[in-house]
Amino acid sequence: MTIKILLSVGLFLIVAYASTQRGKSPLVSVFTLFCAAAAIYFVWAPESANLIAHHLGVGRGADLVFYCWGLISFAVLLNLHFKMRKRDEQVTTLARKLAILDAEFQQPVPPGSRG
């Protein structure tokens, strides 16, 4: 019973955090809320996870949860990778433009062209 309470408290903290992030990232917030709600349900009714797992052809509910966790983790890592690559491209573009502007600003004015 102690582990159920500890897991529930942790999952409720995740729900609270996801709720505060709705304005910044609504899709991630809703997905997190859904996953946390499902996790809370499976913490208190683990036999349901076993039943669903058997219907899907997985031996145990714990295995099904582990497979889903792995899939979600991979998707999150892939998403972060793409965001980092996009950010790197933005920084590179910004650095190039800044270098060009700096070079143009540093060019000496030819004599006789001052008004």
pLDDT at residue 25, as a whole number: 83
pLDDT at residue 76, as a whole number: 87
User: Six-digit token pair at 62?
Assistant: 């714990």
pLDDT at residue 115, as a whole number: 52
Task: Render pLDDT for 54-98 as a digit per residue (tens, 0 to 9).
Answer: 999 999 999 998 999 999 899 889 989 999 999 999 999 999 999
- pTM of the predicted protein model: 0.66
pLDDT at residue 98, as a whole number: 94
Using DSSP's 3-state secondary structure scheme, residue 57 falls into coil
Kindly state the DSSP code that residue 60 receives in the 8-state scheme.
Answer: -
Task: Render pLDDT for 21-51 as a digit per residue (tens, 0 to 9).
Answer: 888 888 888 988 999 999 999 999 999 999 9
The helix-helix angle for 46-56 and 61-106 (nearest 10°) equals 90
pLDDT at residue 113, as a whole number: 65
Dist CA 101 CA 103 (whole Å): 5
pLDDT at residue 47, as a whole number: 92
pLDDT at residue 114, as a whole number: 60
